[in-house]
Chains A and B, each alone.
Chain A
């Protein structure tokens, strides 16, 4: 049984969201600080979760903190930076088994939320500043993280494509900010950024678990009672429907396999109903193993191991990506576009459409089976100002007609061809 209660206000711009579900054996609590993604502040914001994770006034020592976490059945403490639409989301989370499964019946929710709230509002800042040594270590980790994005070639290519496609929008920024900025960070700057973020960010606290959320709610209400919350930021994302000439960008690295990403925008602004149609269309095009791209580009032509399409519902952007041999790049591009034309020309069977609908419904209905996907789902809802359950979105797909799918395909327009390939011989 899932019991969802969203947007309980604890303080100005601070909200507590409960997703209680007795199927789990765990409790997961996360704090999400929502901020506009801005090139001026991206890096100084991004370093914060990594510093905050290291300790707080009550337990300033990282080793002691981790020993405490171990005693709490290996409670997992996560720090992360995400990009949702034009916003940067700083995330701190903690999770472990619920009281009901603790060997000595320890009050787990109380303990876990106490630590998380402490890390967030009560960091170890003697004289108003982070410890310079801790700061330097985490600054270096931020630099490493930015530089190491190239390690994952597929994710790197997708991220480059987003940046190129949205180069004039906040969404075009790297979620960690730029390497130059990260390298120039000072401890004073990070400390000031912490104070700004704590008082102005939109704060979304999510509790996902089988336990009782009340102790967590109380802890966070107390924690924010002493925070001076003012000038809260407003969270929004801009959709661009301005069609330009297709950008063609090739970048060279020492790689064996080339990656190609095609970026598309919408010609006409889409309302909710059209967004549902776009979601279905993108899945029919390249979201499943029965999709056009999988069946034709991979299975029939053997050009790629992966070739897939995805849609960002907040930014209204479609990206198609594949890994391909250098000599097959043009052939793959041609076939990818050819398959989109097929959908635009109504060339797909009822069976393909219905099966895609089934597959999407299955994905939506599976969200609740994992606490972290549940958290991601409802955080997404909070970022876009909606409050839909996964099942409700699934149900809306049933209303989408074939004609709307065709129109959705006709509404996407190629804007970018990005290729990451090997050095010239």
Chain B
């Protein structure tokens, strides 16, 4: 390992686990998390760049550029191609299963392997750092991604979610489909891809997490071989339009091929960052369980009245510049569900919640976070999420253990403003 790499061991007594964190001179932060007894090694190489990064510049660019919607996802597809062929062929000889995904605020490349870890990690670090885009290969990809977009056009659970975001957000690009549209991806060319790549795929904007069954020294050897130390720092400036807390509209509907209407109900909140965001998110998850989980009186009432079925669930949806709580499910009368949720929130705000309910919900959330450490893929994902949020992967579990009743009461009283909420419904097509 390069002498100027800074290494530290991070431990958690509760989980009886530890990992190695390396601050590499290139600016890359590396997490090596061996897990005893597992057969596979899993690696995520990710950049803090996703579909919402549509207007940006670096210190060397005179002006901001606004790129077509869906370009981060397009770039993810295209990075699998190099001058000598496909990245999948690099992995083929190792047996590893390789893949990638793009979300609102990150793009990650990954592999899972039980053999040939060294070659697999080498392949991952190599292909992500070797962009190769030409006019021809870009055109070819437009056909494939075009079919991916068409597939999502037919997916009601996807539509109902994006329609909600469109109703909640005026300007923030979270309102746009991650893959863009057939029209927007038609505007993508090789030069634009290079500009995005050189802005966001610099090592100080990236992280590498390796989990599961692998040898630390082997991982370090590959990193030394494939991660350059002398890298020019790129300063990224992202331009985001002001996003008010108000919503665009309170209701949005679409007709699709479904039997029972699907709904997503969202409450828009102030976005946060870092540890404050993490604590808020964990508190929000706990409170959602308390308000509408299977053990809540609201759930029981909705279920017994036939207004929801077992598909009902909640989540906190958050990332760079957006935060909302979502209630989702199937219902023959989604508007009635919306009313009941609003009523229950009003009731809880007036009468306060029971401390015993808080304790139960806290145990549930604690168990959920411990279970997350059962799985190599989950642990790697959590390391990357924590890194981009600016926190440690163990922070969440410690926050749950230390959370107070007062935290939850105060969350309830400062969130869930009806004025800032909306409902999205996908209805069956009329015959």
Q: Which residues of A contact B (CB under 8 A)?
A: 1, 21-26, 50, 62-63, 66-67, 69-75, 79, 96-97, 101, 103, 133, 137, 140-141, 144, 147-148, 150-154, 253-257, 288-290, 295, 298-299, 302-306, 323-325, 351, 355, 357-359, 361-363, 365-366, 368-371
Contact = CB atoms under 8 A, between A and B. Distances in A.
A309 B309 CA distance: 34
Interface string B18-58: 00000000000000000111111000000000000000000
Interface in B174-217: 212
Contact of A324 (B97, B147, B370): B147
B132 interface: no
A66 B294 contact: yes
Interface string B131-164: 0000000001111110110110111110000000
A120 to B, nearest CB: 18
Q: Which 5 A-B pairs have the closest CB atoms?
A: A73-B367, A358-B95, A23-B37, A302-B143, A74-B364
A366 B364 contact: no
Given A103-B363, A362-B97, A371 B374 contact: yes
6 contacts: A25-B371, A70-B363, A73-B363, A97-B371, A257-B150, A365-B114
B344 interface: no
Interface string B403-431: 00000000000000000000000000100
A334 B166 CA distance: 41
Contact of B144 (A70, A148, A304): A304
A325 B303 CA distance: 40
A70 B289 contact: yes
Contacts, number: 199
A41 B154 CA distance: 33
B229 to A, nearest CB: 32
A303 B40 contact: no
Contacts of B96: 359, 362
A63 B304 CA distance: 11
B347 interface: no
Given A304-B144, A362-B97, 16 more contacts: A23-B38, A25-B371, A26-B371, A66-B293, A66-B295, A70-B363, A74-B368, A151-B156, A255-B154, A299-B144, A302-B140, A323-B150, A323-B151, A357-B95, A362-B40, A369-B212
Contacts of B66: none
Interface stretch (B241-249, B253-261, B273-281, B385-393): B253-261
B259 A148 contact: yes
Given A63-B297, A70-B363, A362 B147 contact: no
Contact of A137 (B256, B303, B370): B303
Contacts of B297: 63
Given A63-B295, A151-B258, A358 B36 contact: no
Interface in B38-96: 38-40, 86, 88-89, 92-96
Interface in B209-232: 212
B363 A74 contact: yes
A97 B14 CA distance: 13
A248 to B, nearest CB: 22
Contacts of A302: 140-144
A304 B147 contact: yes
Contacts of B4: none
